[in-house]
Structure formats: C-alpha cells, structure tokens
Amino acid sequence: MPEWPGVWAVGDCAFVPDVRQVGKSHSPTAQHAIREGRVVAQNIALALAGRPPKPFSFRTIGLLASIGRRTGVARIFGFNFSGFFAWWPWRTIYLSKLPGFDKKVRVAFDWTLDLLFRQDVCAVHDLPSRAHFHRREDSQRPVVANDNGQATASSNTGPGIRSKK
C-alpha cells in the first residue's frame, strides 16, 4: 500500500493493482492470492534489507467452477470447456490444494464413492410420531416415561396438575 509504508494487502479481497493495465486490478481469486502472498513475503524481506519492493504481476491461468452434479465450466489458457470435462479438472485441482495427505485421501475416497454409487441417505426422520411436540395444545402436557422407557406426552394429568380443558 503506497500510502502506508510497511503495510501490505493481499488476498482475494484486496485491491492489487495490475502493473500491466493501469487503473485495473488483479482478479479476486485464490490463484492470484497465493502468488500475491509469495511476492509480499519477498517484499517484506526486501524492505527489511532496505531494498525496493518488486511489483506483483501475474496472468490468470484459468477459471474453473462446478455448477452441478458432475458438471462444470472452465476456461484454461483461453480454451473454454463445459460439462464433465470441465468438472473433472475442477475436482482434481481442488483436491490438490487441500492441506494434508490424510484429508486428500478421505476426500478422494468420498468422491470416488460418489462416482460409483447413487446419493447416500444418511438421515431418516420419523416426523409423524413427533408431531404432538409441535402442537400448541400438547405443549402444556407433562412428558412422562411409558412402559418401554420412551418419553411421551401424557394425556392424563398427574396428581396436583389441573387440565385446562
């Protein structure tokens, strides 16, 4: 930041001027932010040594986006792709950027299963049996354990409890 000596701004939310195009900035993407971070680290070292900073300059390699199940869009080195052939590089690059080998293996395994099998159902809701908890008139009933040890809303009022009906 030229107006603030000793202060640097980087990342996908920073306005980083493009030295090749006056008045324009670099794209707010991770590929730029990663490279900005490297240049800023070098510039901090240069500043500590009393040397002038080097400007940041980078050309976008490509843009990738997943837009649905096994479908994507991409522009890589000026070539446009869509569908599965755009989605696959997106997944591959995303996987390569994950930190830690164990995380990469877990995600790769999960994604492989996703390719081979239908979507997994991981939760089953039994809403009709819980409907009485949402009705206003039942919210006044005490909850008691039945013979099976399950909690249920009691329709009988216990001693000392008066029904409002």
Where are the chain's structural domains? 1-60, 61-117
Q: How confident is the model at residue 61, as a pLDDT?
A: 81
Interatomic CA distance for residues 20 and 74, integer angstroms = 24
- Residues 120-131 pLDDT 10s: 666 566 666 555
pLDDT at 66 over 70: yes
Separation in Å, CA 91 to CA 87, 133, 150:
6, 43, 46
Interatomic CA distance for residues 146 and 164, integer angstroms = 23
Closest by CA to 29, choosing from 68, 73, 61, 71, is 61
Least confident of 96-110, 125-139, 150-164: 150-164
- Who has greater pLDDT, 108 or 2? 108
pLDDT at 22 over 90: no
- Residues 83-103 pLDDT 10s: 888 888 888 888 888 889 999
User: Stretch 134-152: mean pLDDT, rounded?
Assistant: 55
Which stretch, 7-21, 27-41, 128-142, has highest mean pLDDT?
A: 27-41
* Pairing verdict, β 143-145 and 62-68: unpaired
User: Stretch 63-89: mean pLDDT, rounded?
Assistant: 86
Residue 37 near residue 10, CB atoms below 8 Å: yes
Q: How confident is the model at residue 93, as a pLDDT?
A: 85
